[in-house]
Amino acid sequence: MSNARIRWSMLLSHHAPADYDRTVVCLGVRMCSRCMGVLAGVLIAGFVWLHWQTHPCQSSVVLVGGYFMPVPAAIDFLSHEIGLRRSNNVIRFVTGILLGIAAALPVLFVIEGSFGMATMQAAWLSVIEILSGVVLKRTGCLEPYLRRYELGVRTLPDSHEKGPVANRAL
């Protein structure tokens, strides 16, 4: 493995070739489907916040919605990873949008001076992340998940990125 090189393309896709079915190629760049949704969600939240004159982040609807919105992405990711069902890139993108809106809320709360709400929202996102890790660990899916990343980040100089089938030989 001394000739191994870093697969820098994983900086944007953050998925190993074994999981390329979770990515899309946009303008020649491979990107994670869910993260594209997250980016769209952040932009949507910012746009709505800028153009909504009634300070939406102060409303209880936004607060409750902020707690709900990351949940579909977590359920979709975990149920796919555990093997209960198969997800697809449309579901990943849509749940990513909701996750992105939820991820933007702490920043918007801080801008509005609502530090308590920002902390609560950020803490809730952290709880979901930690719980997801615990579920993966308890179901024996964490090590294989991390192992795919570990194998995928290194590539031999003469290897070609042929997608999921080629990478399963790693």
Q: Which residue ranges make up the site for Zn ion (CB under 5 A)?
A: 32, 34-35
In whole angstroms, what is the distance from residue 154 CA to residue 96 CA? 27
Least Å distance, CB 98 to Zn ion, is 14
Q: Measured from the CB atom, is 35 or 108 closer to Zn ion? A: 35
Q: Measured from the CB atom, is 102 or 118 closer to Zn ion? A: 102
Least Å distance, CB 54 to Zn ion, is 32
- Comparing every residue's Cβ against Zn ion, the nearest one is 32
The SS3 of residue 112 is coil
Task: Sort residue 128 into left (φ over 0), alpha (ψ -120 to 50) or beta.
Answer: alpha
Name residue 87's amino acid.
S
Q: Measured from the CB atom, is 35 or 91 closer to Zn ion? A: 35
Least Å distance, CB 77 to Zn ion, is 9
Q: Measured from the CB atom, is 34 or 155 closer to Zn ion? A: 34
Burial (CB < 10 A; 0-12, 13-18, 19+), residue 101, is: buried
In whole angstroms, what is the distance from residue 108 CA to residue 152 CA? 35
Least Å distance, CB 157 to Zn ion, is 27
Name residue 126's amino acid.
S
